[in-house]
Structure 1
């Protein structure tokens, strides 16, 4: 969890409260969405899925429209790859 959390908060526009025992992170991505030029978290998450093949669940269904759910109930290697892809996505959007 510490490794994943530390890498997550390095992604531009991501803020997150460190969970105490869940199998997912629930970062606020409002700034990331704005930085990358999208109107909504849903649109941003859809583009991330299409372009980088990373699926995050928008927080709209959980009453938190500025957040996404990122499960880490898989191997550390898989989560690290996903975080790298999210970071790549953000770098491409912010520099575009």
Structure 2
């Protein structure tokens, strides 16, 4: 059984920060309760932000396996977040992700 993890960078226009905190916060709280979730954490990175630019967040999500990650993506809370994000266009951008975990000892 191989764990599945992702490090995701999200850029959020300051005009959309309240919505992001509501919708992503809902997703984060519910994702942590999923049976296959090992970790689901988010952090804002002010040192990367430029004046007048977007807020930058890094999200670490780790699940017991690929099936648990797929289940997460199918969940109502993820779908709610994903739909909201899509409606925001360029104001909320998922910039990238790293999907390969460090080899186990």
TM over 0.5: no
Larger radius of gyration: 2
Ranked by relative contact order (alpha carbons within 8 Å, sequence separation 6 or more), the top structure is 2
| TM-score (normalised: structure 1) | 0.44
| TM-score (normalised: structure 2) | 0.42
The structure with the largest strand share of the pair is 2
